[in-house]
Structure 1
Amino acid sequence: MSRFFGEIRQLGYVVKDIEAAMEYWSTTLGVGPWYYNPRVPIENYQYKGQEYEPHNSVALANSGPLQVELIQTRNDVPSMYRDFQQAGNTGLQHVAYWTQRYDDDLERLLAQGFKPVMSGEVGKNGRFIYFDTEYHPGTVIELSEVAGPKGKLFDLIRNASEQWDGSDPVRPFPDLATL
């Protein structure tokens, strides 16, 4: 457990082919089911203080309490994911810590000297921020707010994984507005 953040709740992998990655994780590793969104609706997205409109595909599944996120960039918008790939990397890009006290935790981390690089929001009370912590590939830190519908989605994904029998390995994201 991190003395700064608590438990790592998610491992984020940047992949070249998300469909092939979901197939591998579900068939070879037995992790699933995957909840897939071919175009995540990110609002208020910023990278290094500039606003952009990213097109990212994301798939989420759990292995026990740990969530695995697969990310494929679909356009050339500046992002830490794009930087990671342009450096010749694929695979683990970030670890995420979840919070229901986003403002308090963000203020504390900024006071400790953490430098924001990328941020946005997925659904109401679904803010996220990535910090400049990449010492080597896979060490970027994300703080992710789970106080709203995104938190309910994460609960749904974890619950679905607990008794998953391998059937229906890829499922669509539910509408966050209905959660």
Structure 2
Amino acid sequence: MSRLFGAVRQNGYVVRDIHAAMDHWAKVLGIGPWFYVERVKTDYFRHRGADSDVEMSIALANSGDLQIELIQQRNDAPSMYKEFLDSGREGLQHMAFWTTDYQGLHDRALSLGYRVGHEGQIGGAHGRFAYFDTELHPGTVIELSDISGGKGRFFEHVRQAAMGWDGSDPIRPIK
């Protein structure tokens, strides 16, 4: 438990082949089902303060209360995902904390010296997220995600689907 951010709610893995990654997690590790979005539509996305037209696919599943996110960037637009891959890495890139007081926690993190690496919004004002540029060693980028709107309800749906999952219908595309 982080004294600043609360419980870690998600581990985010940046991968080069999201289909192979979903297959591995579902078949080898038995984690699923995966809710897959081929092309994520962001309201906006900024990398280091500048607009970026990042294109990405994501997949979400839960292992208990911990959500696993797989991310494959589909273009060469600036992002922390691209920086991670360009450094020769693939795998755990961030851990996320969820909040219903996004602005308050975001402002507190900034006041403590955290810097935003990239940020965006999905599905309206209650779908904001920020990745703080705090990586001191691999896999410790911190994401802060607003779950006070529809995203929070969707995340709960993903968690519920994982409870007692029998292995059937392992990949569930979301339009």
**TM-score (ref. length: structure 1):** 0.95
**Partner Cα separation in structure 2 for residue 4 and residue 101 of structure 1:** 13
**Partner Cα separation in structure 2 for residue 110 and residue 139 of structure 1:** 17
1:128 is aligned with what amino acid? F
* Pair 1:167-2:168 in alignment: yes
* Pair 1:96-2:96 in alignment: yes
Give the corresponding residue for 1:139.
Answer: 140
User: How far does residue 164 in structure 1 lie from its aligned partner after superposition?
Assistant: 0.6
Which SS does the other structure have where 1:24 is aligned? Answer: helix
Structure 2: gaps (5+ residues): none
Give the corresponding residue for 2:122.
Answer: 122
Give the corresponding residue for 1:151.
Answer: 152
Give the corresponding residue for 2:71.
Answer: 71
Which SS does the other structure have where 1:16 is aligned? Answer: coil
Give the corresponding residue for 1:82.
Answer: 82
**Partner Cα separation in structure 2 for residue 73 and residue 3 of structure 1:** 32
User: How far does residue 28 in structure 1 lie from its aligned partner after superposition?
Assistant: 0.4
**Partner Cα separation in structure 1 for residue 135 and residue 13 of structure 2:** 14
**Partner Cα separation in structure 1 for residue 65 and residue 7 of structure 2:** 10
Over aligned residues, Cα RMSD in angstroms? 0.8
User: How far does residue 43 in structure 1 lie from its aligned partner after superposition?
Assistant: 1.6
* Pair 1:110-2:131 in alignment: no
Give the corresponding residue for 2:34.
Answer: 34
1:96 is aligned with what amino acid? A
**Partner Cα separation in structure 2 for residue 135 and residue 111 of structure 1:** 19
1:116 is aligned with what amino acid? V
Task: Provide, for residues 132-163 of structure 1, a one-character-per-residue CA deviation record: whole Å limited to 9, x for no partner.
Answer: 11111100000000011111110000000002
**TM-score (ref. length: structure 2):** 0.98
**Partner Cα separation in structure 2 for residue 115 and residue 66 of structure 1:** 25
1:109 is aligned with what amino acid? A
2:110 is aligned with what amino acid? L
Structure 1: gaps (5+ residues): 175-179
2:133 is aligned with what amino acid? D
**Partner Cα separation in structure 2 for residue 138 and residue 52 of structure 1:** 23
Give the corresponding residue for 1:5.
Answer: 5
**Partner Cα separation in structure 2 for residue 52 and residue 117 of structure 1:** 12
User: How far does residue 26 in structure 1 lie from its aligned partner after superposition?
Assistant: 0.2
User: How far does residue 173 in structure 1 lie from its aligned partner after superposition?
Assistant: 2.4
**Partner Cα separation in structure 1 for residue 136 and residue 107 of structure 2:** 22
**Partner Cα separation in structure 1 for residue 127 and residue 11 of structure 2:** 17
Give the corresponding residue for 1:58.
Answer: 58
